[in-house]
Amino acid sequence: MPSKTMIDALNRQVLMEAQSSQAYLAMGSWAEIQPGLKGVTQFFFQHSEEERMHMLKLIHYINERGGVAIVPALKQPQLTFDSLKKAFETLLEHELKVSESINSLVEIALNEKDYATHNFLQWYVMEQMEEERLARECNDKLELIGDDKSGLYLFDRDIMTLDKQAPGKSA
Ligand code: OFO
């Protein structure tokens, strides 16, 4: 069974994934009431579902390994954004924090000589690499587009086709 240190750290990650899911849910809800952002709305809502799946995967792992998963209380996420660009910048910042957190979990697993958890976490390492790539791609595109309305139209139309080859896609 993983050590208490490891279980506590995994439970902190449960909270982080739950907060990510809430944050993207709020982005989706914000996008839904902006004119012409159907694709982006779908993207955020789908992303929120994926984060929930990441949370569930952790909950099941903790419980199956003899720990007790803690379903956390959540803070209200940011509800409004000055622009689509700002929303995607926030998304990228958030993903970078999640990656840091996953990396520190990997470090704890190694320190605890918990190779099973180390192995379990590799899925998250790969997932974060892909999520960072996707978030950067969206930010780069929005930077290029600037205030060009036809560019924004195409961004919204194509966002769901941006390739995501993360393990989360098939899990
Ligand atoms: Fe859970 O992968 Fe992003 O945050």
Q: Could you read off the pLDDT of 86-105 as tens digits, one per residue? A: 999 999 999 999 999 999 99
Instruction: Report the percentage of the chain scoring pLDDT > 70.
Output: 95
Of residues 170 and 7, which shows the higher confidence score? 7
Cα 131 to Cα 8, 76, 136, 155, 164, distances in angstroms: 25, 23, 8, 18, 8
pLDDT given at position 160: 86
Angle between helices 38-64 and 149-158 (to 10 degrees): 40
Q: Is the CB of 98 under 6 A from ligand 1?
A: yes
Mutate to test the pocket of ligand 1, among 131, 133, 169 (most ligand atoms within 8 A of CB): 131
* Residue range 128-154, pLDDT digits in tens: 999 999 999 999 999 999 999 999 999
pLDDT given at position 64: 98
pLDDT given at position 163: 63
pTM of the model: 0.92
CA-nearest of 77, 79, 59, 61 to 69 is 59
Q: Is the CB of 131 under 6 A from ligand 1?
A: yes
Who's near 35: CB < 8 A, 6+ residues apart?
none
Helix (H) or strand (E) run with residue 95 in it: helix 84-111
The C-alpha torsion from 136 through 141 and 142 to 147, rounded to 10°, is: 170
Cα-flanking dihedrals φ and ψ of residue 168, to 5°?
A: -60, -25
Which CATH architecture is the domain 4-70+79-164 placed in?
A: Up-down Bundle (1.20)
Q: How far is the CA of 97 from the centre of ligand 1 (A)?
A: 9
Q: Is the CB of 156 under 6 A from ligand 1?
A: no
